[in-house]
């Protein structure tokens, strides 16, 4: 017999418990009971352990009860940004939300993120989201030839934009924004976070071009400081603060 | 069915795929097909750093790095490839910085560097600071930076296209040695619509990543099912050194989520149930910073000798409590958050439960140093390239050093991108690809759809769980003939059951149920190859440790394993390229 990593709960024996998932569903091709594109709720019961996340529960449904349940996921530990969804009315990553933290006595309500077209069950069309990101020119812009070594940057200068480099583009912020829900033109918070990351990078020389885009009617001035985005961010980015910093630069003309 | 034509088709949009795309799309008409949105790729989960002898903080050079890579790989590394990797490392890091990657900085404003396992000064004298890093999210920054550059360069992506078949103009095994075999294209399944697309191309680059999901306890994403490796194998190409799988020492116990080696590079210490710093016994010079294979074995050994921690004594502890919280926050913010989120452990004050987790495939699709895929020990497949984890150059040999994978994807992704584009420009027309090329995939998909509602069918999830369980039990850190024969038997039985599966979802749109069934087929194919290679290699080297053959046997086994498919698997060997480093005993 060889040593194994036979998974057991590491922090001692934890009994399993039953959880009910109440999932917002939609099949564009219809099912035997539901029409094409009809939205409806469906409940599933699963047995969970204390270290299980919402993603584990969704897998239990998909793998053992209904394989047609559609959702995106990949890394399963909060770094790839695939599985943002609305869980008990709040945007979160399913792989970063532990069931035991959600009051498993009540059904856990799972819906697709809002403001993007639903494609099937928990999968939404991400194209409009990525299109907004592309619009703010999210890449380093410099003048002159590339240097022979690295461009110098002090630790303090590097720290200035550290927070917004953490973004994994999961869309939790943008799809929690009440302005984004109702205003089809607004870039949404994520695109502003993406712009902030370069505007405050001491190596970048394209700030004003980028700021011009954000000063546009679809840009930062649409933000009504609801703070939903900051609350939603699974990476702990202070999104609203980043947006205010961009507004301040536009007001003062100084970076 | 839609037909597309490109000069170059790249399969995969992680680090290697996007680095290749940046080169290729500058030179030739390029499409990048990816089963995930590019920013979801698992490169983004890499944490600790990217090795390069910049000498920004300590004296270092590419030759020392080369030596460490070869010794770390337990002399199964092709030394010409390792020399290229380490020599081109410096420019690869500078390229990323110039693209905008936000590396951590020294007080002088240059790129900061830190210690990592197996990286040493002057051939093993002491640990050296060689890893260029951005906190513990270096892979995230690389993935973001490459994606940003792809946006700038308007690289054409086909997102959520699953490439499931590779088309060559001739059977690579039926064609005599020396004769030409060329790539013709790939067949892809579009997730959103279920439509099957044929991509004809002069050059194809596979950059599809790893296969960690053959194991249960793994740091790998759910989507890392070895698609590229299995597709190449099923198209008649060999796989090289697949028995060498890296088990990363510090996975979160029971979960497998990766905690970077940077934790030990920054001063973290592994302890057993007696509180002992046990690595002092196994690697007296560099202790906790020994290469990953040695640390993983030491941990597993502590556990089986009864010095494991916790109620089941089945893990050891990673102790960071002597580090300043501010230092932890600055250098290791993400991994400490993982410990808090997933285990409820506060690393400032409590040691973190850890156990080895399946992490990285050293083996893969055999290539030369230009990324060109080989169909035997010498013949290239014209126009076919591979780079990154799915490829085997081989720069990692029997055990990869930490931070050499982010380096590998940049150096060999770039090389493959350039070579593929140049080949396309020199080629008048792609190999012919007829309308029947998509038939194999089409019939697979239709057959799976027709299984919906079948009674007494087998379940994809059950077979996958059992496969992963037997691989964890029998093919992990410690292996022997009995455990491997058991795994072989189990995999064969699961393959048989796999022919009787039924899926649930008949639909065309976003049918991930169907794709999981196809992915399970890949996992079964690859498991068989891993186990055969491991069973046949009656020695211990790097990540492959046989309890019944506990020493390295250079006479018999200092050569690469090559496994060929077909009705019965066939084993062969390929010589290791040795330039200037003769094998020596591996002590640290």
Residue B387, burial from CB neighbour count under 10 angstroms (0-12, 13-18, 19+): buried
Task: Pick left, alpha or beta for residue B107 (phi over 0 → left; psi -120 to 50 → alpha; otherwise beta).
Answer: alpha
Encode pLDDT of A54-105 as tens digits: 999 999 999 999 999 999 999 999 999 999 999 999 999 999 999 999 988 9
Which residues of B are designated catalytic? 292
Q: In this structure, is the dihedral angle defined by the CA atoms of residues B438, B442, B445 and B448, taken in order, positive or negative?
A: negative
B526 shares a domain with B581: no
CB contact under 8 A, B473 and A98: no
Count other C-beta atoms under 10 Å from residue B474's C-beta: 25
DSSP string, A171-224: -TTGGG-HHHHH-TT---HHHHHHHHHHHT-TT---HHHHHHHHTSTTSGGG--
Cis bond before residue B394 (omega within 30° of 0): yes
- Angle, alpha carbons A82-A88-A94 (nearest 5°): 25
Q: Is B175 on the interface with A (CB under 8 A)?
A: no
Q: Which two tokens stand for residue B175?
A: 């064609």
CATH number for position B171: 3.50.50.60
A10, A30, A82: which to substitute to probe chain B, counting the most B Cβ within 10 Å? A10
B58 shares a domain with B177: yes
B546 shares a domain with B559: no
Q: Which two tokens stand for residue B306?
A: 């009864």
CB contact under 8 A, B221 and A10: no
Tell me what pLDDT residue A15 has.
77
B74 shares a domain with B105: yes
Q: Is B478 on the interface with A (CB under 8 A)?
A: yes
Q: Counting every residue, how long is chain A?
A: 255
In whole angstroms, what is the distance from residue B267 CA to residue B249 CA? 15
Indicate the pLDDT class of residue A14, thresholds 50, 70 and 90. low
Tell me what pLDDT residue A1 has.
34
For residue A155, the chain B residues in CB contact (below 8 A) are 104-107
Alpha-carbon distance B214 to nearest alpha carbon in chain A (angstroms):
14
B125 shares a domain with B15: yes
Tell me what pLDDT residue A57 has.
98
Interacting residues of A101 by C-beta distance below 8 A, sequence separation 6+ = none
DSSP string, A106-135: SPEEEEPPSSS-EEETTEE--HHHHHHHHH
B355 shares a domain with B487: no
B105, B245, B482: which to substitute to probe chain A, counting the most A Cβ within 10 Å? B105
Q: In this structure, is the dihedral angle defined by the CA atoms of residues B263, B268, B270 and B274, taken in order, positive or negative?
A: negative
CB contact under 8 A, A96 and B355: no
Tell me what pLDDT residue B110 has.
98
Class for the domain spanning A127-140+156-252: mainly alpha
Alpha-carbon distance A140 to nearest alpha carbon in chain B (angstroms):
5
CA dist B76 → A36, B238, B380, B385, B578 (Å): 56, 18, 21, 22, 9
| Residue A227: closest CA among A212, A239, A236 | A239
CB contact under 8 A, B257 and A81: no
User: Which residue among A10, A63, A67 sits closest to B254, beta carbon to beta carbon?
Assistant: A10
Tell me what pLDDT residue B584 has.
93
Tell me what pLDDT residue B530 has.
98
CA dist B190 → B157, B355, B391 (Å): 13, 38, 24
Domain locations along chain A: 16-124, 127-140+156-252
Tell me what pLDDT residue B434 has.
78
In whole angstroms, what is the distance from residue B336 CA to residue B343 CA? 10
Task: Pick left, alpha or beta for residue A174 (phi over 0 → left; psi -120 to 50 → alpha; otherwise beta).
Answer: alpha
Average pLDDT, chain A: 93
- Residue range(s) defining the domain that contains residue B337: 251-359
Count other C-beta atoms under 10 Å from residue A238's C-beta: 16
Q: Judge whether residue A10 has pLDDT over 50.
A: no
B206 shares a domain with B129: yes
Encode pLDDT of B248-306 as tens digits: 999 999 999 999 999 999 999 999 999 999 999 999 999 999 999 999 999 999 999 99
Tell me what pLDDT residue A80 has.
98
In whole angstroms, what is the distance from residue B191 CA to residue B239 CA? 28
Interacting residues of B323 by C-beta distance below 8 A, sequence separation 6+ = B266, B267, B268
Q: ipTM of this complex > 0.90?
A: yes
B26 shares a domain with B61: yes
Q: Average pLDDT, stretch A185-193?
A: 95
pTM above 0.90, yes or no: yes
CB contact under 8 A, A120 and B356: no
- β A108-111/A17-26 pair status: parallel
CB contact under 8 A, B98 and A151: yes
Interacting residues of A164 by C-beta distance below 8 A, sequence separation 6+ = A193, A194, A196, A197, A200, A237, A242
Could you tell me the maximum CA-CA distance found in chain B, to the nearest angstrom? 69
Q: Which two tokens stand for residue A144?
A: 């002159």
Count how many domains chain B has.
3
Alpha-carbon distance A221 to nearest alpha carbon in chain B (angstroms):
25
User: Which residue among B257, B479, B511 sits closest to A2, beta carbon to beta carbon?
Assistant: B479
B229 shares a domain with B118: yes
Alpha-carbon distance B433 to nearest alpha carbon in chain A (angstroms):
32
Indicate the pLDDT class of residue A2, thresholds 50, 70 and 90. very low
Tell the CATH topology of A16-124: Ubiquitin-like (UB roll) (3.10.20)
CB contact under 8 A, A75 and B42: yes
Q: How many CB pairs under 8 A join A and B?
A: 208
Backbone angles phi, psi at B454, to 5 degrees: -60, 135
Q: At what angle do helices B481-498 and B512-536 cross, to 10 degrees?
A: 150
For residue A70, the chain B residues in CB contact (below 8 A) are 510-512
Tell me what pLDDT residue B221 has.
98
B585 shares a domain with B486: no
| Residue B123 DSSP label | T
Tell me what pLDDT residue A255 has.
86
Tell me what pLDDT residue B308 has.
98
Ranges of chain B with pLDDT below 50: none
Per-state percent for chain A, helix, strand, coil, to nearest 5:
35, 15, 50
- β A123-124/B181-190 pair status: unpaired
Q: At what angle do helices B15-27 and B138-152 cross, to 10 degrees?
A: 20
User: Which residue among B42, B107, B473 sits closest to A155, beta carbon to beta carbon?
Assistant: B107
Alpha-carbon distance A156 to nearest alpha carbon in chain B (angstroms):
9
In whole angstroms, what is the distance from residue B225 CA to residue B212 CA? 7
CATH number for position B309: 3.90.700.10
B549 shares a domain with B446: yes
B388 shares a domain with B321: no
- β A84-87/A108-111 pair status: antiparallel
CB contact under 8 A, B40 and A74: yes
């Amino acid at each position: 017999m060889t040593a194994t990593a036979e998974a057991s709960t590491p922090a001692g024996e934890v009994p399993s418990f039953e959880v009910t998932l109440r999932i917002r569903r939609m099949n564009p091709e219809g099912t035997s009971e539901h029409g094409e594109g009809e939205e409806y709720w469906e409940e599933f019961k699963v047995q969970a352990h204390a270290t299980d996340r919402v993603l584990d529960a969704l897998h239990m449904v998909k793998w053992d009860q209904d394989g047609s349940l559609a959702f995106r996921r990949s890394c399963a530990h909060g770094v790839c940004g695939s599985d943002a969804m609305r869980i008990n009315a709040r945007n979160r990553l399913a792989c970063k939300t532990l069931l035991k933290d959600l009051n498993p006595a009540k059904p856990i309500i799972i819906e697709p993120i809002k403001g993007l077209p639903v494609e099937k069950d928990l999968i939404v069309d991400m194209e409009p989201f990525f299109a907004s990101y592309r619009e703010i020119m999210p890449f380093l812009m410099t003048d002159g030839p590339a240097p022979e070594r690295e461009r110098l940057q002090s630790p303090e200068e590097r720290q200035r934009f550290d927070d917004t480099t953490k973004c994994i583009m999961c869309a939790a912020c943008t799809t929690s924004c009440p302005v984004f829900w109702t205003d089809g033109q607004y870039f949404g918070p994520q695109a502003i976070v993406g712009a902030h990351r370069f505007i405050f990078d001491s190596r970048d020389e394209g700030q004003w071009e980028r700021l011009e885009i954000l000063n546009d009617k679809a840009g930062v001035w649409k933000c009504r400081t609801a703070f939903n985005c900051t609350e939603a961010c699974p990476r702990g980015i202070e999104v609203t603060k980043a947006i205010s910093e961009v507004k301040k630069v536009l007001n003062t003309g100084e970076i | 069915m839609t037909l597309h034509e490109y000069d170059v088709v790249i399969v995969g949009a992680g680090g290697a795929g996007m680095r290749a795309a940046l080169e290729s799309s500058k030179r030739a008409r390029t499409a990048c097909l990816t089963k995930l949105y590019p920013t979801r790729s698992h490169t983004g989960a890499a944490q600790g750093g990217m090795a390069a002898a910049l000498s920004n903080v300590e004296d270092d050079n590419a030759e020392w790095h080369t030596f460490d890579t070869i010794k770390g790989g337990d002399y199964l590394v092709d030394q010409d490839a390792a020399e290229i990797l380490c020599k081109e490392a410096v420019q690869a890091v500078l390229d990323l910085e110039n693209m905008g990657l936000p590396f951590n900085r020294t007080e002088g404003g240059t790129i900061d560097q830190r210690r990592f396992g197996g990286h040493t000064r002057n051939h093993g004298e002491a640990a050296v600071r060689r890893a260029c890093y951005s906190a513990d999210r270096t892979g995230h920054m690389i993935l973001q930076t490459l994606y940003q550059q792809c946006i700038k360069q308007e690289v054409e992506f086909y997102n959520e296209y699953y490439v499931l078949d590779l088309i060559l103009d001739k059977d690579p095994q039926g064609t005599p040695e020396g004769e030409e075999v060329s790539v013709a294209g790939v067949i892809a399944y579009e997730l959103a619509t279920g439509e099957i697309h044929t991509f004809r191309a002069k050059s194809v680059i596979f950059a599809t990543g790893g296969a960690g999901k053959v194991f249960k306890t793994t740091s790998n994403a759910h989507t890392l099912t070895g698609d590229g490796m299995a597709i190449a194998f099923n198209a008649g190409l060999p796989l090289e050194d697949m028995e060498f799988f890296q088990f990363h020492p510090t996975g979160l116990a029971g979960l497998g989520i990766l905690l970077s080696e940077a934790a030990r590079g920054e001063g973290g210490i592994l302890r057993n149930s007696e509180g002992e710093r046990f690595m002092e016994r196994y690697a007296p010079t560099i202790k906790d910073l020994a290469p990953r294979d040695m640390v993983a074995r030491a941990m597993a050994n502590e556990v089986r000798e009864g010095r494991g921690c916790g109620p089941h004594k089945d893990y050891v502890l990673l102790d960071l409590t002597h580090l300043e919280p501010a230092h932890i926050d600055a250098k290791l913010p993400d991994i400490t958050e993982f410990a808090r989120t997933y285990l409820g452990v506060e690393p400032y004050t409590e040691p973190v439960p850890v156990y080895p987790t399946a992490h990285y495939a050293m083996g893969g699709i055999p290539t030369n140093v230009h990324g060109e895929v080989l169909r035997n020990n010498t013949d290239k497949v014209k126009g076919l390239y591979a780079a990154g984890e799915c490829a085997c150059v081989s720069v990692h040999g029997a055990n990869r050093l930490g931070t050499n994978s982010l380096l590998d994807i940049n150096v060999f992704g770039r090389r493959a991108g350039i070579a593929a584009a140049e080949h396309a420009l020199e080629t008048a027309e792609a190999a012919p690809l007829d309308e029947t090329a998509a038939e194999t995939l089409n019939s697979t998909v239709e057959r799976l759809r027709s299984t919906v509602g079948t009674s007494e069918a087998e379940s994809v999830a059950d077979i996958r769980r059992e496969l992963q369980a037997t691989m964890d039990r029998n093919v992990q850190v410690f292996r022997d003939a009995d455990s491997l024969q058991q795994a072989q038997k189990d995999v064969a039985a699961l393959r048989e059951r796999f022919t009787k599966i039924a899926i649930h979802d008949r639909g065309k749109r976003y049918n991930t149920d169907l794709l999981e069934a196809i992915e399970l087929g890949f996992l079964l194919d690859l498991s068989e190859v891993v186990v055969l290679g491991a069973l046949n290699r009656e020695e211990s080297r790097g990540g492959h440790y046989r309890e019944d053959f506990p020493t390295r046997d250079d006479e018999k086994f200092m050569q690469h394993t090559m496994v060929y498919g077909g009705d019965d698997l066939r084993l062969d060997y390929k010589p290791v390229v040795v330039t200037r480093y003769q094998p020596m005993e591996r002590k640290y």
